[in-house]
Amino acid sequence: MITSTSGVAGLGSILGIWAHPDDEAYLSGGLMALARDRGSRVVCVTATRGECGTAHPAECPPQRLATARTGELARCLEILGVHEHHWLDYRDGRCAEVRVSDAVARLCEAIDRVRPDTVLTFGPDGITGHPDHQAVSAWTTAAFDRAAPPGARLLYATFEERRASRWSALHESLGIFPPGHPIVTPAHRLAVDLALDAETAARKVLALAAQETQTRELIAGMGVDRFTAWVGDESFVERPRRPGAAERPSPPVTAW
């Protein structure tokens, strides 16, 4: 299990596949920053531009919000040191309607081009139960089984038991999770269980603050110190490679 910042280097090159801008920072912002600081390649793929991510659509219609969140994600990733990012440009809230074979084929292409040592994404529960999260998890898992290089690891973001217990009252007050979520993982089953150091946690908060349409009110309401503590842990469980999954020979290396 990776529990220290120095251990992150052991993940090698990383490909993160997420549904909306801010998913990557909430669930893996510290890990990405630490990996980049240690010279590892980190590539991020985002399925949608998050154009429906507002409780005030009349004030911020989808196209305007998509434009805003595109710029916010660019600033967020710059803070984390991640310079390789790609959009799938599916519609926010409609990932479950995407033809699965098409989405999986596109992610197979991403895996072929990046040849990651580690792939990060949601678990089947989608953390919050969001259908887009669950769809991205399913696409990524299928693409990993089809295209990942030998020895690659697929890690699902999860909540460790102690963190879920510590923040249960906050989660209930915020209404982030539906009944039965988040699904927690006992510490002994984790592949990665990071308590971010103060510097990395502060950097992660700056990256999240850059996505201000999603975080401004939350950070103001919680206060920076409490918000920093809330996002200061990152945990992943390893999904074993499916028995019999194809392991294709590595294609020629190309830029992406």
pLDDT of residue 40: 97
| 34, 80, 109, 173, 218 from 214: Cα distances, Å | 24, 18, 30, 17, 8
90 in Cβ contact with 125 (< 8 Å): no
> Can the peptide bond before residue 182 be classed as cis, meaning omega within 30 degrees of 0?
yes
Distance of CA 255 to the CA centre of its chain: 23
Q: Which CATH architecture fits 5-157+193-234?
A: 3-Layer(aba) Sandwich (3.40)
User: Tens-of-pLDDT digits for all 256 residues of the chain?
Assistant: 999 888 999 999 999 999 999 999 999 999 999 999 999 999 999 999 999 998 777 778 899 999 999 999 999 999 999 999 999 999 999 999 999 999 999 999 999 999 999 999 999 999 999 999 999 999 999 999 999 999 999 999 999 988 888 999 998 898 888 888 888 999 999 999 999 999 999 999 999 999 999 999 999 999 999 999 999 999 999 998 776 665 555 444 444 5
pLDDT of residue 248: 52
State the alpha helices, DSSP H only, in 130-236: 131-147, 161-166, 168-174, 198-210, 212-222, 224-230
The residues spanned by each domain of the chain are 5-157+193-234
150 in Cβ contact with 250 (< 8 Å): no
